Amino acid sequence: MVDERFSRTSLLLGEEGLRRLQNSSVMIIGLGAVGGYALEAVARAGVGHLILVDFDRFDLTNINRQILALTSSVGRKKTDVARERVAEINPACRVETFDMFVNADTLPQLLNLKVDYVIDAIDALNSKCCLIEALCQAGIPFISSMGAALRSDPSRVRCGRLSDTKNCSLSKFIRKRLRKRGIDLGKISCVFSDEQISPPAGAIAESEDAGNESNGRKRAALGSLPTITAIFGLTAANYVIKALSMAPKA
């Protein structure tokens, strides 16, 4: 019998599609503006196992765009708040959390975990490149979020290949680095906006958050709207939900 809380999902995807989601494992790396909304969607869709990765805590500046950021969650670990949120949505979902900054040293621990899909919502350039390269080499399916900051036109957000992105300085720098490492950009799925913007001088990457480029070194904050970052996260989640529900598991 279908759990009533997922009956509408079952009506659209079928009982078999829902079963596939319930038997799937999704890792979300980065629980900020994009990752928080991606988490919300995959949890509500019925994914049965979630692996959540983030090293940070919420602060007041997160409240304008991060679904998990509330006055009551300021100062708390993002992973703890996310775990509690999922439990309220789907108590049957198994949740694992990792409070870690993703880099070349910590990635092996994550890559050893069994996972069906990864949502990359990291906003630090070095970490993002390391993660994408490692996932490509390991053959783990994933979708990566590009820069959502400074955007205001929701109609310009789309899914595509990294090789097709434009008007996004984050993806520009990622493409350059990954080409040097011999990664096929045409095989990397991502969410991006092709809206033409004017980044401030010195901005290395258009990120929705002012996170750490290395563990402890802050980047300049860039303006962002909750509408656009939410669309990025929901678009990434939709891509994963469709992929997992429609493809038979081996």
Residues 131 and 118: their CA atoms lie apart, in Å, by 10
The domain limits of the chain are 13-244
pLDDT at 195 over 60: yes
Selection from 130, 168, 157, 127 nearest residue 239 by Cα: 157
State the average pLDDT over residues 65-71.
98
When pLDDT is cut at 50, 70 and 90, the band that residue 77 belongs to is: very high
Which residue is it, tokens 């096929």? 184
The predicted pLDDT at position 137 comes to 95
Model confidence band, residue 221 (pLDDT cutoffs 50, 70, 90): confident
Sign for the CA dihedral angle at 59, 63, 68, 74 comes to positive
State the pLDDT at residue 208: 39
Element of type H or E holding 95: strand 94-98
Average pLDDT value over all residues in the chain: 92
pLDDT at 214: 46
pTM: 0.92
pLDDT of 216 > 50? The answer is no
Over range 120-127, report the average pLDDT.
94
Q: What are phi and psi of 196, to 5 degrees?
A: -75, 120
- Alpha-carbon dihedral angle through residues 241, 9, 233, 54, given to the nearest 10 degrees: -80
Tell which residue, 134, 128, 156, has the closest CA to residue 225.
156
CA distance 52 to 82: 8
Whole-angstrom distance, CA of residue 243 vs CA of residue 207: 26
Confidence of residue 202 (pLDDT cuts 50, 70, 90): low
What's the token pair of residue 38?
Answer: 């991606």
Can you tell me the mean pLDDT for 243-248? 86
- Interval 217-225 mean pLDDT: 77
Rounded mean pLDDT, 189-214: 66
Q: Which fold has domain 13-244?
A: Rossmann fold (3.40.50)
**Between vectors from CA 223 to CA 131 and to CA 209, what angle results, nearest 5°?**
25
